[in-house]
Amino acid sequence: MKNSRPYGVGLFVICSVLTGIIVGYYGIAYATNGAAGLRSPRNTHLLDLWGGYFRTYIWVGIAWMVTGLGSLVSAIGLWQGREWGRKLAIVSNVGHVAGWLIIKIACRGFDNPPPLVIIILALPSLYLFAREVRDYCHARPNPVIA
């Protein structure tokens, strides 16, 4: 029985690494911008009005950092053909879409069309439910720890 890696898994791993790096970077940027807004001494009169707004940026930034890290870790698991990597990739991509929606609702505006984000992040996750991917991840033996 030959159990080679499907080409789609390799492409998904590359996309997961790139997504993890980009989303992690933006998570750091959002969290630091929110923290800088809360700590700015010049904006003390604005903190009463925008304190919740800055805190939203911090929490969404942290969530994006976590999902970015999840994408990177899931890429490792998928490359090795582990079932946990497949499941983590699905959860991470759901987190990416949810984080995008939360920050857009917090900003009260949608500058990028939602279908574009769904095509880029959510639709590739459907490939992880394909039989060839499930078979590839289920057929990999777990290493024995001696």
Instruction: Name 44's Cβ contacts closer than 8 Å, sequence gap at least 6.
Output: none
Q: Is the pLDDT of residue 41 over 70?
A: no
Output the pTM of the full model.
0.74
Q: Does 125 score more than 50 pLDDT?
A: yes
Question: pLDDT (tens digit, 9 = 90+) per residue, 63-87?
Answer: 888 888 999 999 999 999 999 999 9
| Sequence-distant (≥ 6) Cβ neighbours of residue 122 within 8 angstroms | 93, 94, 97
What does pLDDT average to over the chain? 77
List the structure tokens of 89: 């990739």
Q: What's the pLDDT score for residue 1?
A: 45
Residue 140 above 50 pLDDT?
yes
Looking at residue 74, its pLDDT comes to: 93
